[in-house]
């Protein structure tokens, strides 16, 4: 059954939640698989669940209901909503003055458009087949949302690093977002069709291979896995010399990003000798006193969401300045503050990002997060990040400012990226496989790895890889057409694009 949304577009109805047994299993297409961890209202340590091999067999039988080949075609109805209209809907509630900057960033390339058009792809995914094996889904697992960050032990790891769209959903929606982004980004770098297809198949192969490895492993072993950037060892592929050079350079750059180096870049001395942010409009701008006080109060409440030992540490800092900072592509227009805190001295600094959390793009098409995580978007983001990342930021938390939900994290402390522009030749294949493997690890932490492995099959089974390669190519064509429609909307004056100082 279909229903119109607030903009008048027709949306698929949300499928009913599957039946859940007392042991935490759910019925999906008549088969028993584990429910996502987020759905557990309490812990039951008395009942035993289904053995992993039975759940793998159940996942394999799901191929009869939803064959791998069903994922190959991108079949969109004639009444598909105008993609520009879906993007305009996503602008509701954002800061109007920054929307032209968001439009400009999306207009810079088809890949940038894909990054900002999560609502368009969410609509499209909701029209396709789904296995009904649910996980804590990242929701925006494109290749630019994998990156480097520092652990509390000062190691640098590679993992998913953006969780604004996180929710409970089908595992394959994340994988399709990943392979579509590989196809679109590789097109932008003029990678030939054959090599693009190989890269997409590598991502699916990395996912299949890793999920097969994880299916029989103990849950503790799965949860303790992390990919140290100086030891990128993914089963099924060996890192090549070019990829090693890319990683080495990215890690060196990430290690130079810390609170002190950020202070030198964005801070300046006040007349009284203290620190404040150096304005760089429209990217970094001062806030008025009322907003500053509201942000500080929000940070005080945020501290209550931290473990007690982290609160003890944070209490040794005080806020010296707050600014508004524009970030990303899809996030432009949301309220995002950065707070500068000082501790033992004015050289002992800490930067915290305070970012508005908005309704995820997939929300209209899925049952959503269970309570209490569904009632506060910031808590949803942080809970999802804690579940999906192998090693997390110790200062993750959430708060409310002016009746809007926010989440809080450290700002650029040992954070880095693997440049998409470096992903040609052997690095494209390596990182495609690696990101597929990392996505599988994330899904295995909360979903039923055995059932997913059974559905996917081993990476020797090529039909899923072939099907998703066909789908990714078709979505690359669809994205190109939507991008041209988007540019036409700018040219006609329907959308305004501002000058972007970062381009």
- Kindly list the distances between the CA atom of residue 159 and the CA atoms of 68, 305, 375, 427, in Å, as whole numbers in the listed order: 27, 24, 27, 16
- Whether the CB-CB separation of 237 and 430 falls below 8 Å is answered with yes
- Whether the CB-CB separation of 451 and 135 falls below 8 Å is answered with no
- Kindly list the distances between the CA atom of residue 474 and the CA atoms of 67, 179, 182, 470, in Å, as whole numbers in the listed order: 18, 11, 13, 6
Return the bridge partners of 25, or none.
Answer: 34
Tell me: the pLDDT tens digits for 250-287?
999 999 999 999 999 999 999 888 899 999 999 999 99
- State the pLDDT at residue 6: 40
- State the pLDDT at residue 412: 78
Domain spans, the chain: 1-503
Chain position carrying tokens 């977002």: 177
Helix axes 171-188, 193-214, angle to 10 degrees: 150
Q: Which residue has the higher pLDDT, 233 or 293?
A: 293
Strand ranges for 127-220 from DSSP E: 134-137, 146-150, 156-160, 167-170
Tokens representing 185 are 């980004």
Nearest 5°: phi and psi at 321?
A: -165, 155
Q: How many Cα atoms within 13 Å fall on the side-chain side of residue 247?
A: 23
Tell me: the pLDDT tens digits for 154-169?
899 999 999 999 999 9
Tell me: the pLDDT tens digits for 292-322?
999 999 999 999 999 999 999 999 999 999 9
Helix axes 193-214, 449-456, angle to 10 degrees: 140
> What mean pLDDT value characterizes the chain?
90
- State the pLDDT at residue 12: 38
Does the structure show a pLDDT above 50 at 458?
yes
Band (pLDDT 50/70/90 cuts) for residue 115 is very high
Tell me: the pLDDT tens digits for 116-143?
999 999 999 999 999 989 999 999 999 9
Chain position carrying tokens 């001062």: 286
Query: With pLDDT > 70 as the criterion, what percentage of the chain qualifies?
Result: 91
Q: What is the DSSP string of 332-382?
A: BTB-EEEEEEE-SSTTSEEEEEEEE----TTGGGS--PPTTTTS-HHHHHH
- State the pLDDT at residue 480: 98
Query: CA–CA separation, 209 vs 142, rounded Å?
Result: 20
- State the pLDDT at residue 35: 58
- State the pLDDT at residue 335: 97
Give the three-state DSSP class for 26: strand
- State the pLDDT at residue 151: 86
Kindly report the number of other CB atoms within 10 A of residue 261's CB atom: 13
Query: With pLDDT > 90 as the criterion, what percentage of the chain qualifies?
Result: 79
Q: What is the average per-residue pLDDT within 36-58? A: 78
- State the pLDDT at residue 45: 83
Does the structure show a pLDDT above 70 at 14?
no
Does the structure show a pLDDT above 60 at 21?
no
């Amino acid at each position: 059954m279909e229903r119109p949304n607030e903009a008048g577009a027709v949306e698929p109805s949300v499928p009913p939640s599957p039946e859940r047994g007392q042991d935490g299993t759910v019925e999906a297409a008549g088969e028993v698989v584990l429910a996502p961890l987020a759905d557990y209202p309490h812990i039951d340590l008395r009942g035993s669940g289904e053995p992993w091999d039975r759940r793998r067999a159940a996942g394999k039988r799901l191929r009869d209901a939803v064959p791998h080949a069903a994922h190959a075609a991108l079949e969109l109805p004639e009444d598909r909503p105008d993609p520009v209209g879906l993007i305009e809907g996503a602008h509701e509630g954002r800061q109007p003055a920054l929307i032209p900057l968001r439009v400009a960033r999306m207009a810079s390339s088809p890949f940038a458009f894909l990054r900002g058009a999560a609502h368009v792809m969410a609509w499209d995914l909701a029209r396709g087949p789904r296995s009904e094996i649910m996980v804590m889904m990242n929701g925006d697992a494109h290749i630019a949302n994998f990156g480097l960050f520092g652990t509390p032990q000062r190691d640098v790891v590679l993992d998913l690093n953006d969780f604004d769209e996180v929710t409970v959903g089908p595992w394959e929606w994340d994988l399709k977002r990943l392979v579509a982004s590989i196809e679109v980004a590789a097109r932008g770098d003029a990678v030939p069709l054959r090599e693009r297809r190989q890269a997409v198949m590598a991502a699916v192969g990395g996912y299949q291979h890793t999920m097969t490895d994880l299916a029989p492993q103990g849950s503790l072993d799965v949860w303790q896995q992390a990919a140290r950037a100086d030891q990128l060892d993914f089963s099924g592929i060996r890192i090549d010399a070019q990829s090693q050079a890319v990683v080495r350079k990215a890690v060196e750059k990430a290690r130079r990003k810390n609170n002190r180096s950020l202070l030198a870049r964005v801070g300046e001395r006040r007349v009284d000798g203290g620190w404040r942010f150096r304005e760089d409009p429209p990217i970094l701008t001062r806030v008025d006193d009322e907003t500053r006080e509201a942000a500080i109060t929000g940070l005080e409440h945020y501290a209550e969401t931290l473990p007690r030992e982290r609160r003890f540490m944070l209490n040794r800092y005080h806020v010296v300045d707050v600014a508004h900072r524009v970030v990303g592509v899809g996030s432009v227009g949301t309220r995002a503050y950065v707070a500068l805190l000082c501790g033992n001295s004015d050289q002992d600094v800490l930067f915290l990002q305070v970012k508005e959390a908005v309704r995820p793009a997939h929300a209209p098409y899925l049952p959503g997060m269970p309570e209490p995580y569904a009632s506060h978007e910031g808590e949803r983001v942080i809970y999802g990040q804690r579940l999906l990342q192998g090693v997390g930021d110790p200062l993750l938390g959430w708060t409310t400012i002016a009746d809007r939900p926010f989440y809080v994290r450290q700002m650029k402390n040992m954070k880095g990226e693997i440049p998409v522009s470096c992903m040609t030749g052997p690095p494209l294949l390596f990182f495609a496989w690696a990101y597929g493997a990392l996505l599988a690890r994330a899904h295995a932490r909360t979903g039923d790895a055995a059932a997913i492995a059974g559905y996917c099959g081993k990476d020797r089974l090529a039909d899923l890889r072939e099907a998703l390669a066909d789908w990714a190519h078709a979505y690359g064509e669809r994205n190109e057409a939507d991008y041209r429609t988007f540019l036409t909307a700018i040219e006609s004056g329907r959308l305004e694009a501002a000058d972007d100082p970062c381009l």
